[in-house]
Amino acid sequence: MEESLIKRLEAAVTRLEGISSTGGGGGVTLSRGGDFSSGGNVAASDPSIVAYDDLISQCVGRILTAAEKIGGPVLDVTKIVAEAFAAQKELLIRIKQTQKPDMAGFLKPLNDVTMKADAMTQGRRNDYFNHLKAASDSLSALAWIAFTGKDCGMSMPIAHVEESWQMAEFYSNKVLVEYRNKDADHVDWAKALKELYLPGLRDYVKSHYALGPVWNASGKPVSAPAKGPPGAPAPPPAPSASLFSSESSKPSSSSNQKQGMSAVFQQLSSGSVTSGLKKVTDDMKTKNRADRSGAVSAVEKETRTTTKPAVSKTGPPKMELQMGRKWAVENQIGKKDLVISECDSKQSVYVFGCKDSVLQIQGKVNNITIDKCTKMGVVFTDVVAAFEIVNCTNVEVQCQGSAPTVSVDNTTGCQLYLNKDSLETAITTAKSSEINVMVPGASPDGDWVEHALPQQYNHVFTEGKFETTPVSHSGA
């Protein structure tokens, strides 16, 4: 029994080697010892990497065995799943070796593989669409590696794996129902796919990365660039650290002066704090000035404006689909024509730091969040879970379909338009003011009716508990 099990595991590793060596792994070279050519023996022998090797050899090998019996598109998409797990192993080794890099570039190899699986689900549906969709949707579970903290917009790694599998399980169950009494190979494939994530990947993350990846603080400051083909010129060297240091760190005539509050307190204690101040002469005093109107001339205003240009503190504008699951719309200013047209009910939309812009979401999505936006307008069709408005000022939201819940938190000024299909929406407010809801009139041609949500409440202690009622104001 043990010999047969060892043979099966060796066969699975051999298949994974074949996938990686044919270019499917994006340059990842898998060996029986779990080592990479760029990983080094130290990182590859880490207990977490060894455990990930076991996950690949056992769970990924099992689903590959089942897929080989089916063949066709099912085998192709299963190879992509194996390729994604191999790519994530390379990322885990890089985490052990380097300091935290730019996450967008770091996750690109894994994102590229995920897009390959998603591309197989596009176009005309074939007989294996449920297989392809289950495998493609399941790969979003690998995004747990992008967790950087509670404020990153993701669930905790363990919860993320479980939630991602719930999306894929819908199509996996369809495979089980369709082939339950027709073909046991398809049933085995669907069961092996589930076991890969639950309990496979979930238990691995729980044991080694329950709170997310931990980067090597003493490792390389940036990840090494990918090697080019033989004979290609070497990439340019990384910029020296001095390029990223502030100008004040360079030696100068005043380099001996201390910076920050420590210098202020030192000058106060030494009594020399006024030594560098200019003396105010009599003609500079306000009472002796010929012009005491206080008006500022247009020339002076223009000079001040040109000599001190405003510096934007926002990041670069962004509008992209991340990991096939989350639309990120960030730092859009003055854009009135933002449109998300290709979306589905498993994707979420996160809008951050936008100003004086309008976003249209054409289609049903799982969740929409607006965070730290000013004078932002959002028009959406349907939301499966909730529409959230957080830390915003003067926003307008129009629902053209249905939304179970709308949450408004720490927001000043919100105009919410509901249509006849969304009148049963539950609206939750907290620490917010000037919240107005517009609903259709009684007749089809009637005007919109505005309802102001209360922001003041009266709390009365009655019969052993507090009773809270909105404060109503009557006109004189």
Judge whether residue 415 has pLDDT over 60: yes
Give the span between the Cα atoms of 29 and 63, in whole angstroms. Answer: 20
**How do residues 122-152 score in pLDDT, each as one tens digit?**
877 788 888 998 998 899 888 888 888 877 7
pLDDT at 232: 45
At residue 149's C-alpha, the angle toward residues 148 and 154, to 5°, is 85
pLDDT at residue 456 above 70?
A: yes
pLDDT of residue 191: 92
What local confidence, expressed as pLDDT, does residue 178 receive? 87
pLDDT band at 308 (very low <50, low <70, confident <90, very high): very low
> C-alpha angle with apex 164: 163 to 167, nearest 5 degrees?
95
At 371-380, the pLDDT tens digits run 999 999 999 9
Provide mean pLDDT across the span 145-164.
Answer: 84
Q: Tell me: pLDDT of 192 over 50.
A: yes
CA dihedral (425, 364, 410, 418) in degrees, to 10, reads: -40
Task: Give the count of beta carbons closer than 10 Å to the beta carbon of residue 354.
Answer: 30
Task: Report percent pLDDT > 70 for the chain.
Answer: 70
| Weakest mean pLDDT among 50-59, 217-226, 260-269 | 260-269
Has residue 82 got a pLDDT over 80? yes
Nearest CA-CA partner of 363 in 400, 417, 321, 322 = 400
Dihedrals φ, ψ of 345, to 5°?
-75, -5
Write out pLDDT tens, residues 418-440.
Answer: 988 888 899 999 888 899 999 98
- Please indicate, yes or no, whether the overall pTM of this predicted structure exceeds 0.85: no
pLDDT beyond 90 at 368: yes
Nearest to 62 by CA among 80, 78, 40: 78
Q: By the 8 A CB rule, do 23 and 13 touch? A: no
- Return the top range by mean pLDDT from 102-116, 266-280, 353-367: 353-367
Alpha helices in 125-183 (DSSP H): 129-138, 157-179
Q: Give the residue with greater pLDDT, 352 vs 261.
A: 352
CA 116 to each of CA 66, 91, 134, 403: distance values in angstroms, whole numbers, following the listed order = 21, 18, 14, 32
